[in-house]
């Protein structure tokens, strides 16, 4: 089959009302599921899988992809409205999205999240179609040493999400690293900090930590000081995104999309590091740097772009090599296999029509996501108008049930409350939670890849500088460190000068009055 014949056959497969129907249905299911805290995109895809068995292959796969894409965007809705990220990846969205909602700009934040998601999704799909073969080959050069250096570099994000004090950010990250060690050691299989408890052997549940750390402190704060909170009117969040705001964020959205494509094409990284990296890059280069973390719309745009840029790109290793990049694509592979399609290089030859139908379907999905997302936002943004004394108890119920549902485990609910107390203590002491989360996600990857590398080299550290990829990441890490030190020093200087000036000013006043 020639390229054009395959393309035409692909069009034939997609240009049926069923294709569009299942894609739209999938996106709608995904957005809705993603918007429920604790109900992740992964779960939604897993629950949809059995329904695809009876469908035509292309319909089934489009349905699953729709759920996947919708679910990733849907996660940003509770992150913005109630600071309850549905997935780890949308916790970067909460950093600026929730402050915006508190300022009465929920509609704006959700709108920007949708624009950024759709644009990044579109860029990611184009990258998949054009660069799949090339990026897949590149990703195959990533062994444990390359992963290790990539993660070392990613840890420099912590400086970007630490807020006012880098020291506090680092302390927060260290606590995250420490808690990530709970559970079975990957290399030797021994128990670490489990205290003989079978529940702890699996480590601390991700979603429980996430929701405990971000959502519960808000609720605790409200319970403790209800009057102060009640006085604050959140206002109606029904203002959309202005065009010049979108224009201003466009650079960050595009950069975030590219970061997402890169991170997504490497199996095993996932969307969360990508969202945080995109966010911290946007903050670093933005003229509004000081406003990040306090309700900056560009922060929402960058985080969502980094998050959704991954969605199309994770299909690169899936389709071109047959490798699932994350849990969701592993489930999608299952759907391929049910229909006797083996993802991998041969699929392009044996079932080129399916591949092109998928490509066309993916492009359409970005557009459908835009329309379905707009409708969803219109419905969900009223959440921002609910008075706090109704909203917070409902959020608490949702959190408990969401965390319980992940693993059907009451223990996880306990973990969530413990993390909530920790998170609240961190809020009171002004420790930022984002570095904690990044370290919690990246910590195990850092450790495992480090030890796998040393197993490969039998203890010789030279393995960490093998080849150009490791060198590139070491160089990037050094650059990032130099930049962080420079900003820290100049900030300290600026603060000192401000202090001196105000003192001199004060002295001058004293003289005048004295």
Partner 1 sequence: MKRKIIAAALGATALVTGPALAEYPERPIQMVIPYGTGGATDLSARALSNPLGEIVPEPIVLSNRTGAGGATGSVSVRDADGDGYTLLFARVGSHSVNPAMKATLPYTIDEFRYVGVYEINPVVCAVAEDSDIESMDDLIARVNEAPGTVLFSSSGVGSLLHLAGAMVLDAFGVENPLEDAIHLPMDGGGAAATAVLQGTATFICTNSSALASFVQNEQLNPIMVTTPEPLEGFDAPTARELGHPELEQLVGWTGIAGPADLTDEAASAWEGWLAEAVQDEGFLDFMDQAGSQVDLMSPEESVEFINGQYETFRELVVELDMEVE
Name the site residues for partner 1 (rule: CB under 8 A).
36, 39, 42-43, 46-47, 49-51, 53, 140-144, 183-191, 196, 198-199, 201-203, 267-268, 321-324, 327-328, 330-331, 333-334, 337-338, 340, 342-347, 401, 405, 407-409, 448, 452, 455-456, 458
Q: Taking the complex as a whole, how short is the minimal distance between the CB of residue 426 and partner 1, in angstroms? A: 26
Identify which of residues 425 and 455 has a Cβ nearer to partner 1 in the complex: 455
Q: Taking the complex as a whole, how short is the minimal distance between the CB of residue 235 and partner 1, in angstroms? A: 31
Identify which of residues 49 and 383 has a Cβ nearer to partner 1 in the complex: 49
One DSSP character per residue, 101-152 reads: HHTT-HHHHHHHHHHHHHHHHHHHHHHHHHHHHHHHHHHTT--HHHHHHHHH
d(C-alpha 45, C-alpha 24), whole Å: 14
d(C-alpha 98, C-alpha 100), whole Å: 5
Left if phi > 0, otherwise alpha if psi is -120 to 50, otherwise beta: which for 204? beta
For the record, the structure tokens of 83 come out as 């600071």
Identify which of residues 198 and 233 has a Cβ nearer to partner 1 in the complex: 198
Q: E strand or H helix at 184, and its extent?
A: strand 183-184
Q: Taking the complex as a whole, how short is the minimal distance between the CB of residue 454 and partner 1, in angstroms? A: 11
Identify which of residues 98 and 450 has a Cβ nearer to partner 1 in the complex: 450
Q: Which residues contact 125 (CB under 8 A, 6 or more apart)?
A: 312, 359, 362, 363, 365, 366
Residue 420 Cα distances to 334, 432, 433, angstroms: 36, 14, 11
Identify which of residues 64 and 118 has a Cβ nearer to partner 1 in the complex: 64
Identify which of residues 229 and 466 has a Cβ nearer to partner 1 in the complex: 466
SS3 state at 173: helix
Q: Taking the complex as a whole, how short is the minimal distance between the CB of residue 325 and partner 1, in angstroms? A: 9
Helix 3-14 × helix 352-380 angle, to 10°: 40
Identify which of residues 202 and 388 has a Cβ nearer to partner 1 in the complex: 202
8 Å CB contact between 397 and 416:
no
Q: Taking the complex as a whole, how short is the minimal distance between the CB of residue 375 and partner 1, in angstroms? A: 22
Q: Taking the complex as a whole, how short is the minimal distance between the CB of residue 464 and partner 1, in angstroms? A: 14
Identify which of residues 54 and 233 has a Cβ nearer to partner 1 in the complex: 54
Q: Taking the complex as a whole, how short is the minimal distance between the CB of residue 121 and partner 1, in angstroms? A: 22
Q: Taking the complex as a whole, how short is the minimal distance between the CB of residue 439 and partner 1, in angstroms? A: 17
Q: If you count them, how many residues does the chain have? A: 514
Residue 249 Cα distances to 66, 115, 165, 288, 305, angstroms: 26, 10, 26, 11, 10
SS3 state at 360: helix
């Amino acid at each position: 089959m020639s390229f054009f014949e395959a393309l035409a056959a692909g069009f034939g497969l997609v240009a049926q009302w069923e294709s569009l129907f299942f894609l739209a249905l999938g996106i709608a299911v995904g957005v809705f599921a993603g918007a429920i805290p604790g109900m992740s995109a992964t779960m939604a895809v897993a629950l949809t899988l059995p329904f695809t068995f009876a469908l035509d292959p292309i319909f089934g796969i489009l349905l699953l992809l729709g759920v996947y894409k919708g679910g990733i965007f849907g996660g940003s809705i509770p992150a913005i409205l109630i600071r309850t990220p549905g997935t780890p990846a949308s916790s970067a969205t909460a950093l600026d999205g929730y402050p915006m909602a508190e300022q009465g700009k929920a509609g704006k934040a959700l709108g920007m999240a949708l624009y950024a998601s759709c644009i990044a999704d579109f860029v990611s799909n184009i990258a998949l179609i054009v660069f799949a073969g090339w990026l897949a080959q590149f990703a195959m050069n990533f062994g444990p040493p390359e992963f290790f250096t990539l993660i070392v570099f990613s840890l420099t994000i912590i400086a970007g999400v630490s807020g006012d004090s880098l020291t506090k950010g680092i302390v927060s990250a260290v606590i995250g690293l420490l808690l990530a060690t709970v559970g079975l050691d990957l290399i030797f299989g021994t128990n670490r900090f489990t205290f003989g408890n079978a529940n702890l052997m699996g480590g601390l549940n991700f979603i429980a930590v996430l929701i405990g750390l971000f959502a519960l402190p808000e609720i605790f704060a409200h319970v403790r000081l209800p009057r102060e909170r009640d006085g604050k009117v959140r206002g109606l969040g029904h203002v959309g995104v202005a065009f010049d705001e979108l224009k201003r964020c466009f650079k960050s959205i595009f950069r975030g999309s590219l970061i997402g494509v890169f991170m997504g094409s490497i199996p095993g990284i996932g969307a969360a590091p990508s969202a945080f990296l995109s966010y911290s890059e946007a903050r670093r280069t933005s003229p509004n740097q000081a406003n990040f973390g306090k309700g900056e719309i560009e922060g929402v745009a960058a985080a969502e772009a980094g998050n959704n840029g991954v969605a199309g790109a994770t299909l690169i290793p899936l389709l071109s090599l047959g490798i699932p990049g994350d849990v969701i694509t592993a489930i999608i592979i299952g759907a391929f296999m049910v229909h006797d399609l083996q993802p991998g290089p041969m699929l392009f030859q044996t079932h080129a029509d399916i591949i092109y139908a998928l490509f066309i379907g993916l492009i359409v999905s970005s557009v459908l996501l835009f329309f379905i997302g707009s409708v969803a936002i219109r419905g969900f943004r009223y959440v921002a108008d609910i008075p706090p004394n109704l909203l917070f108890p409902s959020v608490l119920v949702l959190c408990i049930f969401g965390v319980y549902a992940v693993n059907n485990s009451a223990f996880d609910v306990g973990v969530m409350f413990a993390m909530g107390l920790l998170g609240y203590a961190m809020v009171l002491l002004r420790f930022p939670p984002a570095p904690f989360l990044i370290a919690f996600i990246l910590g195990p990857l850092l450790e495992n890849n480090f030890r796998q590398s040393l197993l490969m080299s039998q203890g010789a550290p030279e393995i960490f500088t093998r080849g150009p990829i490791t060198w590139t990441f070491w160089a990037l890490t050094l650059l990032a460190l130099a930049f962080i030190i420079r900003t820290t020093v100049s900030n300290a200087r600026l603060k000192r000068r401000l202090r001196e000036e105000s003192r001199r000013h004060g002295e001058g006043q004293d003289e005048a009055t004295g």
